[in-house]
Amino acid sequence: MSKFSILLCCFGDYPHFAQRALVNIIAARNSSPFPVHVGMNDCGMITTNYLRGLYDAGSIDTLIESRSNINKDPMMRLLLDRTQTEYIVWLDDDSYFGPDWHKELCRFIDSSGRFDVAGKLATCARTPAYERFLTARPWYVDSSRFSTDTKHVSRFALGGLFVARTAFLREHNFPDKAMVKKHDDMLLGDLVEQQRGKLVPFSHELREQVFEDKGERRGSGEQEKDFLTVSPITVEEAGGQPRIRKGEHLQLQDEAYRLAANGLLEEALQRYLLALQ
């Protein structure tokens, strides 16, 4: 049995994010199975059909769909309920792995002993508003639990991609029902310190396989398209490239969904990305 499960939360209609997050996960799963649980918050038709195709093909184990954006932490709770492994690996959909991630993650887990949270570590000063929310958490004890270095500064694993021990999260009901998204990575770091847990950095080798999108995540210029259709014209007529038209009967999403359901993931993605043009 695998020591970890992948938990991925997708939002909006960004199939290129979803595909980038999943491509190396699925490739590794083909040779060394591990559970993959995916949640969708207010995903558009293209992303929805892409992920449904992966689920139908058996490439992911769980697909939870919410037509509205219930936000990151409520979706994390739902996905945690599906988890039976010792550790979870959480990804936002704009984070992703390099090709050798699985080997390095397994090596990291095996060599680190038992830990509660791991990731790319960071620090951030606590604001008065954050302090008020922090001290109201059910797992908070008192300020004496913080060291001199962290008395006014949180030390935490960046929330876009981190590893956590499943039993630790469940024991402390993290994330609790009052949490939505904001500062959840800082809160997890403070939870570890308040409960005298173990927070560790990723190894250098694993860090080299972990990527987080640094650009504008949800550009205002991208507009969701419910559907686009193609008309049967020749490549020559289209000037060497297929031309997309609206109002025809063949929907790109339906074609891509059928391809993904049959395991033809690259072909399916090409249809989805074509629809974004």
Q: Give the integer Cα–Cα distance in Å for 20 and 32.
A: 19
Strands (E), 132-184: 153-165
Confidence band, pLDDT 50/70/90 cuts, at residue 223: very low
Question: Taking 90 as the threshold, does the pLDDT of residue 274 lie above it?
Answer: no
Q: Which contacts (CB < 8 Å, 24+ apart) does range 150-154 have?
A: 150/193, 152/125, 152/126, 153/123, 153/124, 153/125, 153/126, 154/123, 154/124, 154/125, 154/126, 154/186, 154/189, 154/190
Question: Taking 70 as the threshold, does the pLDDT of residue 174 lie above it?
Answer: yes
More confident residue, 271 or 151: 151
Q: Tell me the mean pLDDT in the region 7-14.
A: 93
| pLDDT at residue 30 in the model | 87
| pLDDT at residue 251 in the model | 54
Q: What is the pLDDT of residues 112-160, one digit of tens each?
A: 999 999 999 999 999 999 999 999 999 999 999 999 999 999 999 999 9
Confidence band, pLDDT 50/70/90 cuts, at residue 257: low
CA angle 192, 138, 121 (to 5 degrees): 25
- What global pTM score does this model have? 0.79
Percent of the chain with pLDDT over 90: 72
How many CA atoms lie less than 13 Å away from 48 in the CB half-sphere? 17
As given in the structure block, the two tokens for residue 85 are 């492994």
| pLDDT at residue 234 in the model | 32
Q: What is the pLDDT of residues 61-75, one digit of tens each?
A: 999 999 999 999 999
Q: Tell me the mean pLDDT in the region 92-103.
A: 96
| pLDDT at residue 212 in the model | 85
Question: Taking 60 as the threshold, does the pLDDT of residue 90 lie above it?
Answer: yes
Q: Tell me the mean pLDDT in the region 239-258.
A: 45
